[in-house]
């Protein structure tokens, strides 16, 4: 399926060095921010208190959030859970506060907030459950998340090496890590909260971005086999140009869904959708303008895909 077809190949590889210099600068900036500012981890990683409460009527989450901040809770997370009347509250771990009294303080804050909509009287929420996430549990989650990221990277490399060739595997992984580090760099620079949903978005971006690389690489292999007389840059230009329509359809459709989550998903999905948006934008860039030049510089050629015909020697009688 195509929206349009470009007849003349766009010379992307003519500007490959410029694109990769831009990518290198962006990558180094992301690493710098990660090294100097670090990530703003959520309570899943740092530890804290999780509470689930229910109201008689749907409460104003923004009002609850402001009340908790006013009562001394730093960066509280307030979101609906299951229905508009059920609210999930996460409060980060603090050094001075007693864990057993945090729940009581939160409930006291909630009692100050109206439980209903306009015209509703004050209604105290009902506590359904309260859990404490210790720092040790958060440390294990961080280690497991890093391990999951590593396993995904290794799996992608093995898949690409078996399906194509080691040059494609190396190029795709460098481009994918470029995307992941830049996402983390954004979260570090703006100190956005890094939570388990954001980690899930990062893992999703890895698979999503490599899919675009596989499509381009598959067209590269096909072009090498079918068209003779083209140089490697020309083959790459043709492969990228011929898949542009597919790229626009795929990424445009995905971004429409992610944008709807970003706008209408509320605080619960905000950073998840934001991470996906950054990953989709940079995933297109890296798959086309980072991975392809790397393949070219690593020395991919037609001979690696087309086996030379061996002439049979006639038997001498």
Q: For each of the domains in the chain, give its residue range(s) and CATH number, in order of start.
A: 12-40+137-302 (1.20.1640.10), 48-133 (3.30.70.3400)
Which of 32-41 are b and which e, b meaning 16 or more Cβ less than 10 Å from the residue's Cβ? ebbeeeebbb
Is the pLDDT reported for residue 1 higher than 80?
Answer: no
State the CB neighbour count (10 A cutoff) for residue 263: 11
Contact 206, 156 (CB under 8 A): yes
What pairing do the DSSP bridges indicate for beta strands 193-194 and 40-41?
Answer: parallel
Residue 303: pLDDT band with limits 50, 70, 90 = confident
Residue 34: pLDDT band with limits 50, 70, 90 = very high
Q: Angle 232-242/196-226 helices, nearest 10 degrees?
A: 120
Give burial (CB, 10 Å; 0-12/13-18/19+) of 189.
Answer: middle
pLDDT, mean of residues 19-44: 90
Give burial (CB, 10 Å; 0-12/13-18/19+) of 114.
Answer: middle
Contact 290, 178 (CB under 8 A): yes
Q: Which residues contact 306 (CB under 8 A, 6 or more apart)?
A: 224, 225
Contact 27, 181 (CB under 8 A): yes
Strand partners, 295: none
Contact 182, 274 (CB under 8 A): no
Q: E strand or H helix at 191, and its extent?
A: none
pLDDT, mean of residues 149-164: 80
Token readout for 271 is: 């950073």
- R_g over Cα of the chain: 26
Cα separation, 115 vs 55, whole angstroms: 6
Token readout for 298 is: 């690593």
Q: Which among 106-110, 273-277, 311-315 has the top mean pLDDT?
A: 273-277
Residue of higher predicted confidence among 203 and 310: 203
Phi, psi of 300 (to 5 degrees): -70, 145
Predicted pLDDT at 45:
80
Predicted pLDDT at 214:
85
- pLDDT tens digits, residue range 52-72? 898 888 888 888 988 888 888
Token readout for 28 is: 């180094």
Cα separation, 140 vs 46, whole angstroms: 10
- pLDDT tens digits, residue range 158-197? 887 787 778 888 888 888 888 889 999 999 999 898 888 8
Contact 13, 230 (CB under 8 A): no
Residue 312: pLDDT band with limits 50, 70, 90 = low
For CA atoms 173, 178, 179, 184, give the dihedral sign. positive
Q: Residue 13's closest CA among 294, 256, 308, 284?
A: 294
């Amino acid at each position: 399926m195509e929206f349009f077809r470009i007849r003349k190949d766009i010379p992307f590889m003519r500007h490959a060095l410029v694109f990769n210099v831009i990518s290198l600068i962006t990558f180094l900036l992301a690493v710098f921010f990660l090294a100097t500012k670090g990530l703003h981890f959520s309570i899943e990683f740092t530890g804290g208190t999780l509470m689930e409460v229910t109201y008689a009527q749907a409460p104003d989450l923004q009002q609850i959030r402001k009340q908790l901040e006013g009562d001394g809770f730093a960066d509280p997370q307030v979101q609906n859970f299951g229905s508009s009347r059920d609210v999930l509250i996460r409060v980060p771990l603090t050094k001075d506060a007693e864990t057993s009294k945090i729940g009581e303080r939160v409930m006291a804050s909630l009692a100050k907030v109206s439980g209903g909509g306009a015209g509703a009287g004050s209604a105290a929420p009902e506590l359904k459950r309260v859990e404490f996430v210790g720092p040790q549990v958060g440390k294990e989650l961080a280690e497991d998340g890093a391990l999951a990221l590593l396993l995904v990277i290794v799996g992608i490399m093995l898949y690409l090496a078996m399906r194509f060739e080691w040059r494609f595997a190396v190029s795709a992984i460098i481009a994918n890590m470029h995307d992941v580090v830049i996402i983390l760099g954004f979260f570090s620079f703006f100190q956005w909260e890094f939570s388990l949903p954001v980690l899930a978005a990062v893992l999703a971006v890895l698979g999503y971005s490599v899919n675009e690389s596989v499509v381009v690489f598959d067209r590269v292999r096909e072009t090498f086999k079918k068209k003779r007389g083209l140089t490697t840059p020309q083959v790459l230009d043709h492969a990228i140009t011929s898949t542009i329509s597919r790229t626009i359809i795929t990424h445009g459709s995905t971004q429409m869904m992610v944008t709807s989550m970003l706008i209408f998903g509320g605080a619960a999905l905000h950073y998840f959708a934001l991470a996906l948006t950054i990953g989709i934008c940079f995933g297109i860039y890296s798959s086309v303008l980072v991975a392809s030049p790397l393949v070219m510089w690593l020395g991919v050629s037609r001979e690696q895909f087309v086996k030379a015909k061996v002439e049979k020697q006639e038997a001498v009688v």
